[in-house]
Amino acid sequence: MTADTLGYRYLLKRKLSMACKLAIKPILLVHGGAGGISDTLAPRKVDGMKQALRAAVKHLLVTKDTSESGALDAVEAAVRIMECDESFNAGYGSCLNIAGKVEVEASIMDGNELRAGCVALLHDIIHPVSVARCVMQKTRHVFLAGEAAQRFAFNQGFEQLAENALVTESARMTLQKFQEHHVRCSDMAFASSEADIGCIKKDPSEGSGTVGAVAIDVKGNIAAATSTGGITGKMLGRISDSSLLGCGTYADNLVGGVSATGHGEIIMRFNLAQKIMAKIQYEYKTAQAATEEACKEMTKRLLGTGGAITIGSNGQVGVYWTTRRMAWAYAKNGEICYGIDHDKKFKEPL
């Protein structure tokens, strides 16, 4: 097939996609992390995701003519809800680094103009996703990290909480068990909850990583956001895929939006979000097929695990993971569809 033919097919697909947007129903899709989620934690994650959907989906229905995207408001609002819930590894409830401290990070992207904001190595700030949005909207930069990001957040009016205010007893216990296992860096998987500790050495696929959201609004705008506390026992200064565009987060109105979760180092090396986007854009895959194929390819090639949630520009939803479990849910047409185990999904009224 010639380059001209490929170009024609791409332009035709884009025209059809834009035409289909007139009939697209708004969708808000979230995840609450992938990995070895315990039976005790699973229902709490599901409840937290439902709460996030019910609080944030209203933003997708805004039809007034503004320069801002309802999808952008929705993903930020959904992630903020989960950052306040200690059932998730983000904001309050984040896992601890090797020094027993919380270092959070996040990214957010607007698919309309490909604007984005990313932050990393923040401490004592509960909503890094909102700081990331401020970076996008109020600076000429995309990524701020460390003390400079901390000062920026403070100057923008974000509250700096008391030291260790984001540390939970569960996170302390998880770090203690991690340290008792004397796991060497070369053998270290990722653990984000007490339930994961016993699995660290025997199965690197166990863990639960981040929170994220992807949305498409009534105008066809797409946005994505991801937030995390990282991995238990991480080195000081470690940054994950969650704050990196093309790895943990990406959005483009012409293609779709992705938020990833799982083994951050593996996701970074594989560039998971962009791999999914490329399958939709260049291989004409559905959102589900693209997400499933990319996750499987990542695990086969790099032996690490993870998952992702995707919304295509045509409103298709994709959800897949290669870990034992991944918490996911979406709101569409007045219903919530959700699940946490492979081949099991449930529905209930929004």
- Residue ranges for the known binding site for substrate are 238-241, 261-264
* 3 state DSSP class of 115: strand
pLDDT tens profile 106-127: 999 999 999 999 999 999 999 9
Topology classification of domain 25-349: Glutamine Phosphoribosylpyrophosphate, subunit 1, domain 1 (3.60.20)
* DSSP assigned state of 26: P
pLDDT tens profile 170-212: 999 999 999 988 555 444 444 444 444 333 433 333 345 799 9
Q: Is the pLDDT of residue 295 over 50?
A: yes
Residue 209 confidence (pLDDT):
73
Instruction: Please report, for the chain, the start and end positions of each structural domain, with discontinuous segments joined by +.
Output: 25-349
Long-range contacts of 115-119 (CB under 8 A, 24+ apart): 116/142, 116/245, 116/249, 117/142, 117/143, 118/142, 118/143, 118/144, 118/243, 118/244, 118/245, 119/143, 119/144, 119/145, 119/149, 119/153, 119/243
Annotation marks residue 305 as catalytic: no
What is this structure's pTM?
0.89
Higher per-residue confidence, 64 vs 166: 166
Residue 61 confidence (pLDDT):
83
- Which one of 210, 232, 305, 322 is the catalytic residue? 210
pLDDT tens profile 79-99: 999 999 999 999 999 999 999
